[in-house]
């Protein structure tokens, strides 16, 4: 894929996210500014989106806003997600049991991507959104996914790789990380203690569904999580086991 094509896609996404950020109709000039897209380019993209029924115009004041078609397309896609649809009831039960934020994620290249986030029930809670990209070495989801690798594969991935310090607590030493992941795998769960977001602790486990390795995490503020890591790890193990049994039942 050419750089020009990638740039064009980024600009379309910037325009859609500009409406999400502004949460109101925008004039072409405002939209170009918020999306950081040249006005002439923005005009061309807007015309295409209007022709496909994704944007409509308002006369007074002259402005633009997305139609419901964007929502309908996104909803239809999400409803057929191969993992989310099956996992949602189980993930919601995990959230209700722990009252903390629950995350489903998988590896995407050299990062972890959040596929679903069910926010905790407390007023003060860890907040994230589906689609967020996180480092493998500093997030609980990422650690669980790395922990699912064979040691040889893990060492191959780490070879000549810099592990940036996301926070002051991030583990950046290769051997120390390998040892931690090995011990965590034996324990059956993986923990981050303010390594990706300061003062946020999380515990995660990995599982395999349809030959895909996924990870589930429970995350929250340190003051609530610190004394419950072991308890939440047990609930996570039950959750992963239930999802695995559901898959077996679906195929029988």
Sign of the dihedral through C-alpha 74, 79, 82, 84:
positive
- DSSP assignments along 83-100, one per residue: THHHHHHHHHHHHHHH-S
Segment-wise mean pLDDT, segments of 10 residues, the chain, 252 residues: 71 94 95 95 95 92 93 88 83 96 95 95 95 96 96 95 96 96 96 96 93 94 96 95 78 54
Q: 3-71 and 80-251 share one CATH topology?
A: no
Residue 212 has what pLDDT? 87
- Both tokens of residue 38? 């040249």
Q: Report whether 232 contacts 218 (CB < 8 A).
A: yes
Residue 194 — left, alpha, or beta (φ > 0 → left; ψ -120 to 50 → alpha)?
A: left
Q: Which two tokens stand for residue 144?
A: 């669980």
Q: CA–CA distance from 37 to each of 9, 14, 45, 168 (Å)? A: 12, 8, 10, 36
As a whole number of angstroms, the distance between CA 98 and CA 225 comes to 10
Closest by CA to 104, choosing from 132, 73, 135, 72, is 132
Claim: this prediction has a pTM higher than 0.85: no
How much is the pLDDT for 251? 57
- Is there a contact between 141 and 112 (Cβ–Cβ < 8 Å)? yes
Answer CATH for 80-251 from 3.40.50.620, 3.30.450.40, 1.10.3470.10, 3.40.50.300:
3.30.450.40
* Torsions phi, psi for 44 (to 5 deg): -65, -40
CATH architecture of 3-71: Orthogonal Bundle (1.10)
Identify the pLDDT of residue 147. Answer: 95
Domain layout of the chain by residue ranges: 3-71, 80-251
């Amino acid at each position: 894929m050419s750089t020009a094509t990638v740039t064009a896609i980024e600009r379309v996404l910037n325009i859609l996210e500009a409406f999400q950020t502004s949460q109101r109709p925008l004039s072409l000039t405002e939209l170009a500014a918020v999306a950081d897209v040249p006005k002439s380019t923005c005009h061309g993209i807007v015309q295409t989106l209007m022709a496909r029924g994704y944007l409509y115009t308002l006369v007074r004041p002259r402005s633009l806003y997305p139609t419901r078609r964007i929502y309908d397309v996104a909803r239809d896609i999400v409803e057929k997600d191969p993992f989310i649809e099956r996992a949602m009831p189980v993930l919601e039960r995990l959230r209700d049991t722990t009252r903390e934020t629950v995350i489903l994620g998988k590896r995407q290249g050299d990062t972890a991507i959040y596929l679903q986030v069910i926010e905790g029930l407390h007023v003060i809670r860890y907040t994230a959104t589906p689609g967020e990209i996180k480092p493998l070495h500093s997030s609980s989801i990422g650690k669980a996914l790395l922990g699912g690798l064979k040691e040889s594969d893990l060492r191959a991935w780490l070879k000549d790789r810099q592990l940036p310090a996301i926070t002051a607590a991030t583990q950046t030493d290769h051997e120390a990380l390998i040892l931690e992941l090995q011990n965590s795998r034996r324990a059956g769960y993986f923990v981050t203690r303010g390594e990706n977001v300061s003062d946020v602790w999380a515990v995660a486990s990995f599982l395999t569904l349809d030959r895909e390795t996924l990870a589930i995490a429970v995350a929250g503020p340190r003051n609530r999580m610190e004394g419950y890591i072991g308890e939440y790890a047990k609930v996570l193990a039950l959750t992963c086991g239930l999802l695995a049994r559901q898959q077996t039942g679906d195929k029988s």
